[in-house]
Amino acid sequence: MQQHLLPTVPLGRGGRLIGAQGLGCMGMSEFYGPTDTAEALATLDAALEAGVTLFDTADIYGSGANEELIGPFVRANRDRVVLATKFAIERRAEDPRYRAVRNDPEYIRSAVDASLKRLGVDEIDLYYMHRRDPAVPLAESVGAMAELVQAGKVRELGLSEVTGAELREAYAVHPIAALQSEWSVFSRDVERTAVPAAAELGVTFVPYSPLGRGFLTGSFAAAETLSEGDYRRYHPQFSGANAAANAALVEPIRAIAAERGLTPAQVALAWVHQRAAVHGLTVVPIPGTRKRTRLAENTAAATVELTGAELALLEPISGQVTGDRYADMSSTSAARE
């Protein structure tokens, strides 16, 4: 019988039980510098053994390469893996910098077939709309996604970077199992409308970048120290004067970790779990890692309890962060609130 080391929580209202922490697979193919593929694949196996069930990818990660990378692992463990992928950000091979947000039904229908093919599966467990194009009525997009459920191509629906009002509007068209948006000690704008709406509707919240893309762990303190091609080199919070100011804000995380015999990553993850409890919300953070040692460290954080005094030390941090969480904020939920 499968042994769960991680506690389990429901995916969506009354949904199936999944490990209370998932694994972000994005960095295994793109964005965060060079990857050791063998170690990344070993990390997938280690995650499953640790009780992780939710594995997160998207069609744009590595322009499909990330779906192809995890496909064999998913197929080998099909009944134990909850496979999440996403559509909506169009890329073009001939222009690496091209990005367009696509929410139209025709695009959705072709994107799901392409993802299924790359993954080599018949059904995606959780299919997210990655970004919202306000020019397309939400009912049209979610309606097209609901048809994918009826066709047996998708089991559950999810949204990413939508506001509370948009989540409610979508839910009225079809139940939404999960909302995936950025949420961490540094980035808390989702607590304004998205988090309360998810709590009210029984939508599971899937915080992405819960480690602040690694910055909260202290593994880097400035964009310039990262390798060429690492997308974080252009991140406003890690560049120029912002980097030094924001690195100082990580100090309380480090101090709590040192005092408690934890790592900064564990403190950052424990904060997300406990902050969700304050809102009466089910969360499944998806820290991204390509290394087994970090996977073990991150998994252990799901059961760490921070004290009231420790939470109070972390509380003011997000209000002091300088720089936006994206160089271009126009596609974030915060831009539409």
Ligand X SMILES: NC(=O)c1ccc[n+]([C@@H]2O[C@H](COP(=O)([O-])OP(=O)(O)OC[C@H]3O[C@@H](n4cnc5c(N)ncnc54)[C@H](OP(=O)(O)O)[C@@H]3O)[C@@H](O)[C@H]2O)c1
Residues 337 and 93: their CA atoms lie apart, in Å, by 33
Amino acid in the structure at residue 333: S
Under 8 Å between Cβ of 171 and 145:
no
Among 265, 272, 284, 314, binds ligand X (CB under 6 A): 265
Under 8 Å between Cβ of 43 and 292:
yes
Structure tokens at 23: 């694994």
Residues 18 and 177: their CA atoms lie apart, in Å, by 12
- In the bound complex, what is the minimum distance in angstroms from residue 160's beta carbon to ligand X? 4
Residue 158 binds ligand X (CB under 6 A): no
Residues 38 and 36: their CA atoms lie apart, in Å, by 6
**For this structure, is 61 an active site residue?**
yes
**Range in contact with ligand X (rule: CB under 6 A) among 46-54, 134-142, 204-212, 315-323:** 204-212
Residue keyed to tokens 């560049």: 239
Residues 42-101 that bind ligand X (CB under 6 A): 56
Q: Which is nearer to ligand X, 54 or 121 (CB)?
A: 54
Q: Which is nearer to ligand X, 70 or 121 (CB)?
A: 70
Residue nearest to ligand X (CB): 24
Structure tokens at 5: 């080391």
Residues 291-310 that bind ligand X (CB under 6 A): 291, 294, 297-298
Element (H, E) at 192: none
Q: Which is nearer to ligand X, 181 or 282 (CB)?
A: 181
Q: Which phi and psi (to 5°) does residue 164 adopt?
A: -60, -40
Instruction: Please choose, from the candidates 7, 93, 91, the residue with its C-alpha nearest in 3D space to the C-alpha of residue 270.
Output: 7
Under 8 Å between Cβ of 109 and 144:
yes
Q: Which is nearer to ligand X, 116 or 216 (CB)?
A: 216
- In the bound complex, what is the minimum distance in angstroms from residue 110's beta carbon to ligand X? 20
Residue 332 binds ligand X (CB under 6 A): no
- In the bound complex, what is the minimum distance in angstroms from residue 70's beta carbon to ligand X? 10
Among 210, 236, 252, 323, binds ligand X (CB under 6 A): 210
Residue 236 binds ligand X (CB under 6 A): no
Q: Is 204 helix (H, G, I), strand (E, B) or coil?
A: strand
Q: CB count, 10 Å around CB of 194?
A: 26
Q: Which is nearer to ligand X, 15 or 158 (CB)?
A: 158
Amino acid in the structure at residue 308: G
Structure tokens at 171: 């839910």
Residues 113-132 that bind ligand X (CB under 6 A): 130
Residues 178 and 161: their CA atoms lie apart, in Å, by 11
Among 36, 72, 114, 219, binds ligand X (CB under 6 A): 219
Among residues 32, 61, 127, 171, the one annotated as catalytic is 61
Element (H, E) at 308: helix 308-314
**Range in contact with ligand X (rule: CB under 6 A) among 75-83, 239-247, 283-291, 322-330:** 283-291
Residue 230 binds ligand X (CB under 6 A): no
**Range in contact with ligand X (rule: CB under 6 A) among 8-16, 203-211, 235-243, 249-257:** 203-211
- In the bound complex, what is the minimum distance in angstroms from residue 214's beta carbon to ligand X? 3
Instruction: Please choose, from the candidates 242, 210, 209, 208, the residue with its C-alpha nearest in 3D space to the C-alpha of residue 223.
Output: 242
- In the bound complex, what is the minimum distance in angstroms from residue 150's beta carbon to ligand X? 25
Active-site amino acid positions:
61
Under the rule (CB under 6 A), what is the footprint of ligand X?
Answer: 24-27, 32, 56, 130, 160-161, 180, 208-214, 217, 219, 263, 265, 286-291, 294, 297-298
